[in-house]
Structure 1
Amino acid sequence: MSKDKRALIAEDLTNISVHSDPQLTPDGSAYAYVSTKATENNDYESNIFFQSLHESDAKQWTFGEKNSNPRFSPDGKKVVFQSSRSGLPQLWLLSTEGGEAKQLTTFKNGATSPEWSKDGKHIIFSASLDQDDDVENQKEHSNEERQKEKEEKSKQPLVVNRLKYKSDAQGFHDNKRSQIVVLDVENESFTQLTTADAHHNVEDISPDGNLVLFTANLNVEADYELINDLFTINLTTKEVVKLTDGEGAYNSACFSPSGNKIASFGHEYAYMGATLNELYVFDVATSERYCLSKEWDMQLGDSMIGDTRLGQSTTGPVWSKDENKLFFIGTDFGATGLYQVTLNSELEVLYKDENHVFGFSYNEVNDSFVLGISTPTNPCNFYQLKQDSELVRLTNSNTDFLSEVSLSEPETLTITAEDGWEIQGWLLRPYGFEEGKKHPFVLEIHGGPHAMYGQTFFHEMQLLAAKGYVVLYTNPRGSHGYGQEFVDACRTDYGGKDYTDLMRAVDYVLDAYDFIDEDRLGVTGGSYGGFMTNWIVGHTNRFKAAVTQRSISNWLSFYGVSDIGFFFTKWEHGLNLLDDPTKLWEISPLKYAENVETPLLILHGEQDFRCPVEQGEQLFITLKHLRKEVEFVRFPGSNHELSRSGKPEMRIERLNHICRWFEEYL
């Protein structure tokens, strides 16, 4: 960490551009991507950039608002994309040779996720529709009309008759459903493909243009299930064929180049929410499937946690041009990489290093890839991965930010748990680090719990290091990246060996590094990490300050108030509320409030439906009533994603409160 540069500050969140969704052109000579950045009006702006693989600079194609999901036409002459420039997300068409974009949709509730047919004649997309909506006569409301509709809705009571009536991402649900619509590009006409009372997600369209692949739960008991089946629907006859058996969850599905096969991630909940993804291949003619990954012990897809990863990117599976291989991102030992597998399950690493591959695009013309990569000291860049495994950097992003700010390189640790299991972790040295000087310390605990810290840029970690703290972050049992047994090991044992893993990690660094002041230890975490922070302060007084974020304090009430409580409680603890409320109380941090001597700051979003604000409120009132040292900060208009995609001003406020609390008590 260089002293020649300034220390990072919370406000630097607004100085970072975050890239996502690389999309190679059909001829493989160039690619488009999305870049997102916070704006002065306390929001985010996403724009589409285009770069030739033979040029060093990218050209900005869109300006202002939120533009995303660029998809090239098969001939490479046009790109369809999603933009909110008219007020709602709608589809727009742009010539790759330049000129003004043309608006394609004016749907009342917007249009999203466009995909081209292979002949370029149709665009398939998703639209939120009521049962009686006519897709040929959709009219986008003005901002004034939308505001009036919102005000009228706010005057009406909410009638609830579904179990899944709310979600953290959407708030309270309405009766609209995500349906699949086809746009005839030449005739500018629309056809609604799906009509069932369910959300339908477009996955792909067959090479011959006859079949659309989608996921949905069309079961009668859908309100009580977390099933996501694979289906095809014929564009002409609208015949729906179910490819899976209603026992699992499937996603990221795609047709092979011939259209004879389909590849998909998925699993059948063998370990509930801790189940590793599998890679399946389906025969389109017979609907038979086989699993390519049954002998592996690795999470497929990207399970890395960060706080600056805005925007979606492809993580696979993607077919090779000869249809003999599939490409995908895998999560393994604190990093993610690009992998290849043959149809005989022969696995090969195409690229993996001590970093975070967050997305990729494959081009069959020259068998090359564009990779999106983040490192602990660089938020993002794109690289070309050539056939000979040469990695060529394409972008030089965030140069002004990186030239000014000093960042800490993590030291990778291997900690032996009480029972001999190996726990991976990382340590950041503080800004202005001096040998022989004692520095305060903060332990960070991730959420999930089935997620993974690792080799990616994490603004919050770097900020704490910039403020003078030694920062430790680890992947205790329950984390992804270390196989099925490891990720499943915390279920029915919250506060057990996951807790001792964390305490052993703290013991390890105190023994290994003489520059940590053992009398100035802090701890923080969010979601499951918030639960664990609450658990820690109720079971040990070794920490002198703690910050719990979007936390769980009471499993009894969590069951009924969280958007996932009615199934998550069973998944993670093996029982529901009425099965054994005494046991749920035993593992609730609230029970141990009398033991808390650590000054505790509670941070919570008012609109958090995942871990509702009442969880923080119960803990605050109890501790305050007991005259403990506690403070409660409630963030207006913020949901569970506050730290990652919340309003920039609220994110900065949150970080400053964390730093304030640790500065006061450490």
Structure 2
Amino acid sequence: MGKRKLQVEDLFKLHSVTNPRLSPDGKEAVFVKTHMDEKDNTYVSNVYHVELTSNEVTQWTFGNNHVSSPQWSPDGKRIAFLSNREENNQVYIISAKGGEAKKLTSFDKGVSSFLWSPCGQKIWVNAPVKEGQTWTDKEEKEKKQKPEPYRVTKMKYKMDGAGLLPQDTFQQIGIVELATGEVTQFTEGNHQHALHAVSHDGKKIVVGVNRKENQDLEFRQPLFLVDVETKKETVLIDEEGFYGGARFSFDDRYIAFVGKDQQFYNATHSYVYVYDIEVGTRMNLTESLDAPVGDYVVADHQQGVNAPAVSWTKHNQLYFQLSTMGDVRLYFATLEGELYPASPENEHIYDYAMSADGDLALVAVTNATNPGELYKQTITTGERVVLTSFNQTYLEEVELVEPQAITYTSTSELDVHGWLMKPAGYEEGKKYPLIVEIHGGPHTMYGNSFFHEMQLLAAQGYGVLYVNPRGSHGYSQSFVNAVRGDYGVGDYADIMAGLDVVIGENDWIDTDRLGVTGGSYGGFMTNWIVGHTNRFKAAVTLRSISNWVSFYGVSDIGYYFSEWQIQADMNDVEKLWEHSPLKYAKNVETPLLILHSENDLRCPIEQAEQLYITLKRMGKETEFVRFPDADHNLSRTGIPNLRIARLNEIIDWFTKYL
């Protein structure tokens, strides 16, 4: 009996394995497994334990809640984690010998993150607190129920996924005593503080904070080394750009962190930096790598990933992720400048944990035909042992399609990389429709990673083409920067060149049945494409941009993203309009389905409303579907039933027109 075809509802059958954390002695580990619960219409995650000698896996927490960020106590006897068991995320402690988890914090607005103190008797917390209040103060419920006006005096006043930002609430850092629950606030002032690292001797912490009063045009968060006793600060880095993920070396001499400057704004590659505390100098350890440090893969499966930005061994060696040519690989570095990969090609390491001696890694690995599991990898040999098999039964039941990697030359002699999937159940000699998928960002990348939506389209009988046009990460700095100021020109040429190449090399593609779809930047590009060519017989645009003029003022990032990417502001409305798909609405002949989340503040729904009304008034074939209670991340972390509905809308539209 053959395998069945993948279905929309298979989202409920998939498991996401993340957050591997090794015990201090390296003999055991914990991790988090997440799945979507169809009955409760929510995400359920729990902590699991693995004994690394026997490789036996045991579930440690239960219930239909969400847990994240498990961390071992320094003595290995307890694990702390975050859970929303009582609405807001709080810190819970569970014994490594088993038993019920004990709630440690009861902060009114919850806890954002935490780190163990090396003494094992205290936990450092990062959490929001209202000005003039303490973390444990409770706001009056009566006051919460009354609507109040919201006065806006700054440009950074809202954020996708968060809504209107509280103007009187600030992220502070503090310490919680395990024995008594007593809370002591460490930082002060009306600033947003970020806790990055605690030294192994407990005497220093790394804090990120920008104390400028007006943050509207601030795109930096300086990192400071802070003496716990005196609170004296030493600057690690205070430059334009984004830096974080700091970690102390085991001997506390060095601090490694990851970040990027503003040379190419948000198109700039990230690097690993190391600060020498004794000498007071900083070096860029990965400057010779023309690829970004970190994970830039876009997909729709993994939940709650929280991979270390960088990890030390006791030999003062470093490990980190690197996005390169569609892979996310584990890389090794020494302070002397040695750099080389520590994992193979054609896969996506989306989470990991390193042993202190550097001999062993726990790697959470996915590829195009495996949703991802946890493996134990011996660094010297590369040998791997499978630790989890949560998706094994699913893989035995369902037919998945292996994408074929392609490389081709576009305009400006630019080499472009991508993948082509044949339809599931492909038969030689038959003709099949083809759908082009376009990722968001644009500074992300498609990769060698499991993508339920791609596999679903293949299961529906479509070929699928997805490429990384100029602007995508995972390639050279010049490649990722090439899209800026050029939206709809070079990137459009890259996508269409890829289409021409695969049509020329694959006679199974029915050129009369071509579809195109994409979200965010991919939605912009879908809108642009249907206004510039009639080759596609159906299109679906998701969380898209149609008008850069209005986007400038309505998006939570509009006023600076437009300047960085389109390289124009409201003093150059002509250029913003020139790159706006709405300008070319009269040319659209492709039936276009518009899908958009009502709470999307990144690409606000007015972008879809403008496009829909304009096309409808012009007599074009279009429909508009609005998703309530959903933001920009609907396809990845949205309410489960809405994710299902979204995929069904896509399938139904292509079925109707292709």
Distance 2:395 2:607 in 1: 38
Q: Which runs of 5+ in 1 are unaligned?
A: none
Matched residues in 1 for 2:263 and 2:303: separation?
31
Distance 1:207 1:186, change over 3 A: same
Residue in structure 2 matched with residue 264 of structure 1 by the alignment: 257
Given the alignment of the two structures, is residue 376 of structure 1 paired with residue 376 of structure 2, yes or no?
no
Per-residue deviation, residues 540-594 of structure 1 (Å, max 9, x unmatched): 000000000000000000000000001100111222122x101110110000000
Per-residue CA deviation, residues 500-553 of structure 1 (Å, 9 max, x unaligned), is: 000010001111001110000000000000000000000000000000000000
- Confirm or deny: 8 A CA contact 2:204 2:226 kept in the other structure: yes
Cα deviation, 1:470-501, whole Å, max 9, x if unaligned, reads 00100011101111011001111001111000
Aligned residues: 654
Distance 1:219 1:614 in 2: 32
| Superposed CA offset, 1:46-88 (max 9, x none) | 1110011123441111112111111001110001111111222
Q: CA deviation at 1:288?
A: 2.3
- Whichever residue aligns with residue 71 of structure 1, its letter is Q
Equivalent of 1:468 in 461, 467, 470: 461
1:55 aligned partner: 54
Q: Could you tell me how far apart the structure 1 residues matched to 2:19 and 2:459 are?
A: 30
CA distance in 1 between partners of 2:10 and 2:281 (Å): 51
The equivalences for 1:225-624 within 5 A come to 225-323=218-316, 325-365=317-357, 367-386=359-378, 387-578=380-571, 580-624=572-616
Distance 1:515 1:611 in 2: 36
Q: State whether structure 2 residue 648 is matched by structure 1 residue 651.
A: no
Does the 8 A contact of 1:20 with 1:34 survive in 2? yes
- Equivalent residue for 1:44? 43
Aligned partner of 1:210 in structure 2 is: 203
Residue equivalent to 1:14? 12
1:69-88 alignment runs, 5 A limit: 69-88=69-88
Q: Matched residues in 2 for 1:649 and 1:604: separation?
A: 15
Distance 2:550 2:279 in 1: 47
Partners in 2 of 1:391 and 1:617 — Cα distance?
Answer: 51
User: Shift in Å at residue 45 of structure 1?
Assistant: 1.0
Aligned to 1:26: 24
SS in 2 for 1:532: helix
CA separation of 1:414/1:550 partners in 2, compared to 1, >3 Å: closer, same or farther? same
Rounded Cα–Cα distance in structure 2 between residues aligned with 1:268 and 1:367: 33
Is 1:106–1:140's contact at 8 Å kept on the other side of the alignment?
no
Contact 2:105–2:181 (CA under 8 A) maintained in structure 1: no
Which secondary structure state, in structure 2, belongs to the residue aligned with residue 492 of structure 1?
coil
**Structure 1 contact 91–112 (Cα < 8 Å) conserved:** no
After superposition, the Cα gap between the structure-2 partners of 1:435 and 1:164, relative to the gap in structure 1 and judged at 3 Å, is same
Q: Name the structure 2 match of 1:98.
A: 98
| Letter of the structure 2 residue corresponding to residue 28 of structure 1 | G
Aligned-pair identity (%): 45
Q: Compared with structure 1, are the counterparts of its residues 56 and 149 closer, same or farther at alpha carbon in structure 2 (3 Å cutoff)?
A: farther
Q: Structure 1-normalised TM-score?
A: 0.96
CA contact (8 A) 1:22 1:313 kept: no
SS of residue paired to 2:648: helix
Q: TM-score, normalising length from structure 2?
A: 0.97
Alignment-derived partner of residue 134 in structure 1: 134
Letter in 2 for 1:498: D
Alpha-carbon contact 1:336-1:352 (below 8 Å) kept:
no
For 1:265 and 1:178, the matched residues in 2 are separated by: 21
Post-superposition offset of 1:120 = 1.4
Cα contact 2:77–2:95 (8 A) shared by 1: yes
User: SS state of the match for residue 88, structure 2?
Assistant: coil
Distance in 2 (CA, whole Å) between partners of 1:218 and 1:207 is: 27
For residues 586 and 248 of structure 1, the distance between their equivalents in structure 2, rounded to whole angstroms, comes to 29
What letter is aligned with 1:63?
F
Q: Deviations over 1:368-415 (max 9, x none)?
A: 110010111111111111133212211112123222211111111111
Q: How far apart in 1 are the matches of 2:605 and 2:410?
A: 34
Q: Does the 8 Å CA contact 1:28/1:365 hold for their aligned counterparts?
A: no
Q: Higher mean Cα deviation, 449-458 or 60-69?
A: 60-69
- CA distance in 2: counterparts of 1:243 and 1:51, whole angstroms: 37
Query: Which amino acid in structure 1 is aligned with residue 631 of structure 2?
Result: N
**Aligned-pair CA distance for 1:13:** 0.8
C-alpha distance after superposition, 1:84-139 (max 9, x if no partner)? 1122211111100011111110111112322112221321111110121224xx15
* Residues 61-210 of structure 1: pairs in structure 2 closer than 5 A: 61-64=60-63, 65-135=65-135, 138=136, 150-152=144-146, 155-174=147-166, 175-210=168-203
1:238 match: secondary structure: coil
Per-residue deviation, 1:285 = 4.2
Comparing 625-634 with 200-209, greater Cα deviation is found at: 200-209
Distance 1:585 1:545 in 2: 25
Name the amino acid aligned to 1:262: I
Q: Residues of 2 paired with 1:168 and 1:86: CA distance?
A: 23
Shift of 1:622: 0.3
Contact 2:515 2:539 in 1 (8 A): yes
- AA paired with 2:29? Y
Change (3 A) 1:140 1:389: farther
Is the CA contact 1:28–1:366 (under 8 Å) kept in the aligned structure 2?
Answer: no
Distance 1:150 1:627, change over 3 A: farther
Answer yes or no: is the 8 Å Cα contact 2:313–2:358 preserved in 1: no
Amino acid at match of 1:331: S
Paired residue type of 1:61: W
Could you list the runs of 5+ residues in structure 2 that have no partner in the other structure?
Answer: none
**Separation of aligned partners in 1, 2:296 and 2:265:** 16
Deviation for aligned residue 1:245: 2.1
> 8 Å contact 2:363–2:374 — kept in the other structure?
yes
- Measured at CA, do residues 366 and 287 of structure 1 come closer, stay the same or move farther in structure 2, by a change above 3 Å? closer
CA distance in 1, matches of 2:290, 2:78: 41
Q: Residues 131 and 195 of structure 1 are in contact (CA less than 8 Å); yes or no, is this contact kept in structure 2?
A: no
Closer/same/farther in 2, CA of residues 624 and 576 from structure 1, 3 Å limit = same
